[in-house]
Structure 1
Amino acid sequence: MIDLLNAVVVLSNYVLIPALAYGSQLALGALGVTLIYGILRFSNFAHGDTMAFGAMVTILVTWLFQGWGISLGPLPTALLAIPFGIAATAALLLTTDRLVYRFYRQQKAAPVILVIVSMGVMFVMNGLVRFIIGPNDQRFSDGERFIISAREFKKLTGLSEGLAFKTTQGITIVTAVIVVVALFWFLNRTRTGKSMRAFSDNEDLALLSGINPDRVVMVTWLIVAGLAATAGALYGLDKSFKPFIYLQLLLPIFAAAVVGGLGNPLGAIAGGFVIAFSEVLITYPLKKVLGYLLPDRFEPDTLVQLLSTDYKFAVSFTILIIVLLFRPTGLFKGKSV
């Protein structure tokens, strides 16, 4: 029984909790992608760098607050700075829409044209972020590092293995739950949210019903700004901030949106956790877990690792290809790609 508990602790420490936090970050990012695809009808390849911009502003404001001696005690000061990151990201996205995307919408450009345009915006945003904050790793977390450390857990339970639950992981999971609940309440209970859903389902019928398309577009970008800046800041807090990482993060985010069903918010959340758990579990060496579960003579000599962590994003790519080949509408029957 003790060996089973130790195995559960090891699995929780290195797979379940990290995957829950990572899945929460992917879910928030995928929600932004799926809202743009469902309402504005194009795949926004600049979303990863939008997250990087929001995280960058959050970092700069965090450093400012830390310099002024403002803090939240055991919690990261970045929580106070995230609203500023959201505001700056909203201003950036609304400006980009006015200067770039609006022209192509008015021209009734094909979705593939908007995809290419978004790639151009992606490179501009990536360069802007690296120019302002630099290309290197930036850490901006303060306060208590752990909700419970491995040493405290061992002392409390008497087990051989310790469970470490980082403060940033707890904040990520709780924040994601709050944001998702607020978003679904907005989309299902408010007049503006219902207008957005109607516009997504049938644009022509929504226009005949008197729905203002410009307002729908503006609110969509505001929501996407909130989701992107929050997801970017939480990812940076939990890991570290490096602009190029957010460009790489675009693959698992799109994979999550496609797996769940593009245009379906519930699917984006489910897809985020499917991708996260797949990446973490497939790249984690299970030797220690199996060592507790199997008799001594069957204990594996190898790491029992299906893929190296260097190939983590290959898992997302493989799942994405499989879904596109066999179920292009995703798990929750969103719009086909």
Structure 2
Amino acid sequence: MEYSTDLLNALLWSFNFLILPAITYGSTLALGALGVTLIFGILRFAHFAHGDMMAFGAMLSLIGVELLNHFGIFTYPIPAGLIFLPIAMVLTALLAIVLDKTIYQYYRSIKSPPVVVVMVSMGVMFLLNGLTRLIKGPELTPFNETRTFPAHQFDVEQLMERLGERAIQIKTDFSTNQEVVRVSEPEFVFFTVRQFKEAVGTSEGFGLDLIQLSTVVLAVTIFAALYWFLTYTWTGKSMRAYSDNEDLALLSGINPKRVVFVTWLIAGSLAAVAGTMYGLDKGYKPFTYFQMILPIFAATIVGGIGRPQGAILGGYLVAFSEIMITANYKKVANYLLPEKLEIASNLQLLGTEYKFSVSFLILLLVLLFRPTGLFRGKVL
């Protein structure tokens, strides 16, 4: 009986610290990789600015959240970032189209080599990175940070009933000698770790929040919608034909400007979704999105450049690899091993600070041994 409980604890630990984080993170990487693979498949260049487009989309959602905060509007249990996500998608897609019209289109018109356009995209990357830092600063900003309001602005008892007593603090602002309310809008959880422990009687608990679930559900919905769009609509078929053979597609009467426009529209929207969902889970910090271009590129190349299904699979493979290689297995090992063999030191291959080096290693191995990726995509 004791061993079966330890086995259950080990499984719960694995789900809490390996499987669920990897699925959530993998969904974000897959959404980002989809945008990169669409751009490469249609426009034939690696878009290094995609991570910072994600940062731009997340920043727009965060600004929307701060507007609600300013007016004391609370959206619990729905995260405010999700409410502003459609607006962020539209504005980020508009940004992508503007960047193409003002920058990338010129280099297509003079038939610049792909390496030149890649260097241009790196310039755009630094431009967007500087813009997001200028607007929101370089520091980590949580989407649900604590805010302070005058006490007379709310019915405090009603607010406590809605958000919970732990979310509300009543303080005195000594500069004005007035009562203020400090509000920490909680994340909606379907059940807490403590509730699970009490119900099941295990040492390890399990909790599921709305952000994790919504990230996965939204990603799967987008994957299905994009598959339907590319497979069954005239525009989607035109994009696939243009990607496979540009000259033959032009001879067939396909409008290249329309294909490019729709590509940037989709890529920008996907960037906003990926950036916002990652920010809701981890907080907003521009430099993090700057770093994420490495695992996104790794996911794109692992699956096969220009292959949307490969980008999805690659996103999850990279996420699971990063998390499993940098996880500390000391606790789960002690659940499974006899008490005499208990491990006292950490049991992990790499520290979490080396997470992105795992992506680099995956990228290097795939380029060396299978440059076309799992789904035999295009070669860089």
**TM-score tier (shorter):** over 0.9
Matches within 5 A, 1:71-86: 71-86=74-89
Q: Deviations over 1:11-61 (max 9, x none)?
A: 111111001100000000000000001111100000000000010011101
Amino acid at match of 2:357: A
Partner of 2:316, secondary structure, is: helix
Mapped partners of 1:69, 1:216: distance in 2: 43
**Separation in 1 of the partners of 2:236 and 2:80?**
32
Q: Higher mean Cα deviation, 174-183 or 69-78?
A: 69-78
Farther-moved stretch of structure 1 (313-322 vs 56-65): 56-65
- What residue is the counterpart of 2:111 in the other structure? 108
- TM-score normalized by structure 2? 0.87
**5+ unaligned residues in a row in structure 1: which ranges?**
none
| In 2, Cα distance between equivalents of 1:71 and 1:206 | 50
2:128 alignment partner, one of 125, 130, 135: 125
Note if 1:88 corresponds to 2:91: yes
CA distance in 2, matches of 1:148, 1:308: 30
SS in 2 for 1:159: coil
Q: Which has the larger radius of gyration?
A: 2
2:308 corresponds in structure 1 to 265
Q: 1:228 and 1:51 mapped to 2: Cα distance?
A: 4
Instruction: Look up the match of 2:53.
Output: 50
SS in 1 for 2:203: coil
Offset from partner CA, 1:36-89 (integer Å, 9 cap, x none): 011111000000000000100111012213334544431201111011111111
Q: Assess if the C-alpha contact under 8 Å between 1:75 and 1:143 holds in 2.
A: no
Identify the match of residue 20 of structure 1 among 7, 19, 23: 23
Q: How many corresponding residue pairs?
A: 337
Q: Is the 8 A contact 1:13 1:165 kept in 2?
A: no
Check conservation: 2:34, 2:311, Cα contact below 8 A. yes
| 1:278-320 deviation per Cα after TM superposition (whole angstroms, max 9, x unaligned) | 1101111101101111111222232111000011111100011
> Which amino acid letter does the alignment assign opposite residue 254 of structure 1?
F
Instruction: Say if 1:56 and 1:129, in contact at 8 Å, map to a contact too.
Output: yes
Between the aligned partners of 2:253 and 2:72, the Cα distance in structure 1 is 51
Identity rate, percent: 56
Map of 1:226 onto structure 2: 269
Q: Which amino acid aligns with 1:160?
A: S
Structure 1, 40-49 or 165-174: larger mean CA deviation: 165-174
Match of 1:302 in 2: 345
Find out whether 1:187 has 2:190 as its counterpart.
no
Measure the CA separation in 2 of the matches of 1:65 and 1:82.
Answer: 14
- CA distance in 1 between partners of 2:223 and 2:70 (Å): 33
Post-superposition offset of 1:145: 4.1
Q: Which structure: greater strand fraction? A: 2
> Is the counterpart of residue 284 in structure 1 residue 327 in structure 2?
yes
Q: Show CA shifts across 1:170-209 (max 9, x none).
A: 1111111111111111111111111101100100000001
The letter for the 2-side match of 1:259 is: V
Q: Normalised by the size of structure 1, how large is the TM-score? A: 0.98
3-state secondary structure, aligned to 1:147: strand
Residues 258 and 328, structure 1, Cα contact 8 Å, conserved in 2: yes
Which of 199, 203, 221 is equivalent to 1:160?
A: 203
Please give the alpha-carbon distance, in whole angstroms, between the structure 2 residues aligned to 1:203 and 1:71: 50
1:60 and 2:58 equivalent?
Answer: no
Q: Tell me the amino acid that sits aligned with residue 225 of structure 1.
A: G
Q: Secondary structure at the match of 1:304?
A: coil
CA RMSD, 1 decimal: 1.1
Q: Which residue number in structure 2 is paired with residue 34 of structure 1?
A: 37
- Structure 2 residue aligned with 1:8: 11
Which residue type is aligned with residue 74 of structure 1? P
* Matched letter for residue 199 of structure 2: L
Indicate yes or no: 2:239 matched with 1:196: yes
Aligned residue in 2 for 1:151? 194
Q: Distance in 2 between matches of 1:145 and 1:74?
A: 5
**Which amino acid is 1:28 matched to?**
L
